[in-house]
Structure 1
């Protein structure tokens, strides 16, 4: 008599981290389409394919998931800039700084609409305010890159202040570029990158 072996079936529910990621993906899509203010939690859960109760296992409110989407947005930018830097030799510090800044500008250009939705900015071509905090994860990641400089000169600027000021320059410059009507954003982005990297070289005293 043969014995039928029972194999475990597929789990009926996704792991918590996957379910949370689904909710973040859904929220990002709803926010991008409807704006944060107009978005509703039931729209997010419907898109994610989960019950309302599942939402509250992971997030306490719409604001809570909005902050989580913001955090993931910045984390992905940092990961992208790290990847650009890792393609260069460790001893090419100036090249790594240039790669970081170049990719930062291009990433903002590519994701400008989502950025504006998540950070409460008004639509493209409107006047807005820029706020850059030293606690920003993007600023902190750039500060760490600055500290990797081998044998910095005695008069090199403080890395934390340098990261904040250079971040403000590229971020503000890119924001201004995107929020003015322009037929050739790519060309203007190239010019901005050239200006920002030149500014960074002079401020960081890269030629010393």
Structure 2
């Protein structure tokens, strides 16, 4: 009887782990760069903050800054757009928690979220918007950030008017009046150093609804 030699074990090769990317995606690096600038502008002011300060806090080379922005001025403009995007997202999230056809509730949510968000972020607002910009031509071209907020408010007002929730012969005028009123009274609350905005925001919403005959 012939005995076969034992089979040799087949070596198992280790599977190499996938290589990690050495650099962060461009959008992540840009977001970190802008977050660093925002923090420094709030802490030190725009003029006192240097490009070197920003890149040091973000942990990137100075050339990375200039890859995205020619100067601090252009970064400030980008931060303004970023601020409005976050502001609008806060409004949309609050409004979307209401039922689609609850127009009074949706307008109330818009106003109250606007007051609360502005009170929470006014220091950054004043940094990125150092002067009031008046629309000379079409607002979409001359003041796109303000226009984005007005479009959102206008859609609520137009939807409510179409559903018979309130009369609205001049939608654009009503949107401008509510927008200006909300920001004006919130500026007053900021000057008074208001701590709790809940009751104040509800009162502002009531006043806006009275403007519409509710």
Fold match by TM threshold 0.5: yes
Aligned equivalents of 1:41 and 1:108: distance in 2? 28
1:123: which partner in 2? none
TM-aligned CA deviation for residue 34 of structure 1 = 1.0
The reply on whether 1:116 has 2:116 as its aligned counterpart is no
1:200: which partner in 2? 208
Aligned equivalents of 1:138 and 1:86: distance in 2? 15
Query: Which string of whole-angstrom CA distances, capped at 9 and with x for unpartnered residues, describes residues 128-150 of structure 1?
Result: x7667553122222122222224
140-149 or 28-37, larger mean C-alpha shift: 140-149
Query: Which string of whole-angstrom CA distances, capped at 9 and with x for unpartnered residues, describes residues 23-63 of structure 1?
Result: 11011001101111221111111111111111112112101
The reply on whether 1:179 has 2:187 as its aligned counterpart is no
Q: Is the 8 A contact 2:111 2:201 kept in 1?
A: no
The reply on whether 1:190 has 2:203 as its aligned counterpart is no
Aligned equivalents of 1:57 and 1:197: distance in 2? 44
The alignment partner of 1:10 has SS state of: coil
Superposition TM-score, scaled by structure 2 size: 0.80
The reply on whether 1:159 has 2:171 as its aligned counterpart is yes
The reply on whether 1:40 has 2:50 as its aligned counterpart is yes
Superposition TM-score, scaled by structure 1 size: 0.82
Aligned equivalents of 1:62 and 1:40: distance in 2? 8
Superposed counterparts of 1:2-151, under 5 Å = 3=13, 5-120=15-130, 134=139, 135=143, 136=146, 137-149=148-160, 150-151=162-163
TM-aligned CA deviation for residue 152 of structure 1 = 4.1
Runs of at least 5 residues in structure 1 that lack an aligned partner in the other structure: 121-128
Aligned equivalents of 1:4 and 1:192: distance in 2? 62
2:5: which partner in 1? none
Query: Which string of whole-angstrom CA distances, capped at 9 and with x for unpartnered residues, describes residues 185-205 of structure 1?
Result: 326x623541x3233223334
Aligned equivalents of 1:19 and 1:60: distance in 2? 16
Runs of at least 5 residues in structure 2 that lack an aligned partner in the other structure: 1-10
Q: Is the 8 A contact 1:85 1:96 kept in 2?
A: yes
RMSD: 2.4
Compared with structure 1, are the counterparts of its residues 154 and 35 closer, same or farther at alpha carbon in structure 2 (3 Å cutoff)?
Answer: closer
Aligned length: 194
Q: Is the 8 A contact 1:31 1:118 kept in 2?
A: no
Aligned equivalents of 2:176 and 2:189: distance in 1? 20
Structure whose CA Rg is larger:
2
Q: Is the 8 A contact 2:34 2:79 kept in 1?
A: yes
Q: Is the 8 A contact 1:105 1:170 kept in 2?
A: yes
